[in-house]
Amino acid sequence: MFDQLPAHADDPILGLFEAYKADPRPHKVNLGIGIYCDEQGRVPVLASVRAARALLAEADAPSVYAPTEGAQPYRDAVRRLVFGELETAPIVVVQTVAGTGALKTGADLLKDLSPEATVWMPDPTWANHAAIFEGAGLRVDHYPYYDGRTGGFDLDGAIATLGKLPAGDIVLLHPCCHNPTGVDPSHDEWRALFDTIAQRGLLPFFDMAYQGFAQGVDEDAWAVRECVRRGIACLVASSFSKIFSLYGERVGALAVHAPGADAARLLGRLKLGIRRSYSCPPGQGAALVQAILSDRALESQWRAELEAMRLRMRAMRTALHRALHRALGPGSDYLVAQHGMFSYTGLAPARIDAMRERFGVYLVGSGRLCVAGLNASNIERVSAALAAVRA
């Protein structure tokens, strides 16, 4: 059975990261994979995480199996972070293996409960979304999202598609820092989307990997909370890789807002899916996040560190915008209008290849640029490369 295996193309993001690591050129710049780097180009160890690690080291607890759904204090802390003051809303939270694990756990649940539903994703979306949902056996299709003419959100296109869907279909949404475009709907646009979603009886599935990178922790959860305030059932996948700079620990959560559901039965169903997939979640990353979010001082230290990351990315957007304006004149306002880690340059694949081959500047083939990889020492090089391939 193994001698006729079809060949698979490398993953467009992870494969590019491997190519970047293998590139011997000293001035190479990684603007591909979504990893936040500090001004020195390093993945930071947050001081709040370091302090939480010290607490855990002191406690010296043995390594035991976590509950299938994760520890209760972790689940409570995540609930507060994502849903804020919505304390009475009927929400079940389970710990997952990062954001990808949350999407997969949610996809398995949906396939189980609603096998005929189609999952509608924004066009474009994260390169792995379709694979996760198709891998769970669900049908996948796309709704218009990015308007190439305006560089903004195509609300009319999205509503025209969503407004025709059958009840029970699933709509994948990025509540902030849309990946790959950095284009987020305004509050009014979200309201219009939720009107359509409620009218059609659709089920939103939010993928929230960057809470705090656009406007702030609570501001970025606005769309999720608005959906819950309206009583619309929804799923939320949270990733803590970026916002706690904990990429290797694989820490995340899935929340299900299910008005009218029996919460114990819903939790049981989720636990069934987790048990037959990976049995129970990893301990260390969740213990760190739990330690931070359950201690006032540590939480405010973390929030300040998250804010500093957000502001550094904004400053890099402004600096690149200025440099490109100097080199090419107007035309790069998208950099300052978009949010989060990513910008969509609109560059064709041949130009992306040229940036990598001629200048050692790595962008994802879709034209996505990770602004979190920019710093004072590489920004001129990046803007020169962008100007050269644009010219």
**Which contiguous run of DSSP H or E holds residue 54?**
helix 47-59
Q: Which of 126, 154, 184, 190 is catalytic?
A: 126
Closer of 267 and 382 to ligand LMR (Cβ): 382
CB closer to ligand LMR, 179 vs 301: 179
Nearest to 351 by CA among 375, 385, 325, 317: 385
Closest CB 34 distance from ligand LMR, rounded Å: 3
171: how many CB neighbours lie within 10 A of its CB? 24
Gap between the Cα atoms of 102 and 111, Å rounded: 14
Estimate the crossing angle of helix 379-390 against helix 296-328, to 10 degrees: 40
Catalytic residue at 242? yes
Closest CA to 98 of 243, 211, 252: 252
Residues of this chain that interact with ligand LMR (CB under 6 A) are 13, 33-34, 126, 128, 179
When the beta carbons of 32 and 281 are compared against ligand LMR, the nearer one is 32
The one catalytic residue among 108, 111, 120, 242: 242
DSSP, residue by residue, 56-117? HHHHT----PPPTT--HHHHHHHHHHHHTT-TTS-EEEEEEEHHHHHHHHHHHHHHHH-TTP
In angstroms, give the least distance from the CB of 312 to ligand LMR.
Answer: 18
Nearer Cβ to ligand LMR, position 126 or 302?
A: 126
Measured in degrees and rounded to the nearest 5, phi and psi for residue 169 equal -70, 155
Tokens of 247: 């990429």
- Rounded to whole angstroms, the Cα distance separating 363 from 316 reads 16
Spot the catalytic one: 108, 169, 184, 207.
207
3-state SS of the chain: helix, strand, coil percent to 5? Answer: 45, 15, 40
Write the CB contacts of 347 (distance below 8 Å, at least 6 apart in sequence).
Answer: 355, 363, 367, 386, 389, 390
* Beta carbon of residue 13, minimum distance to ligand LMR (angstroms, whole number): 4
If you count them, how many residues does the chain have?
A: 391
CA–CA separation, 193 and 158 (whole Å): 8
Angle at which helices 296-328 and 47-59 cross, to 10°: 150
Collapsed DSSP state (helix, strand, coil) of residue 202: coil
- Position of minimal CB gap to ligand LMR: 34
Catalytic residue list contains 126? yes
Residues 306, 281: Cα–Cα separation, whole Å: 25
**Catalytic center residues:** 126, 207, 242
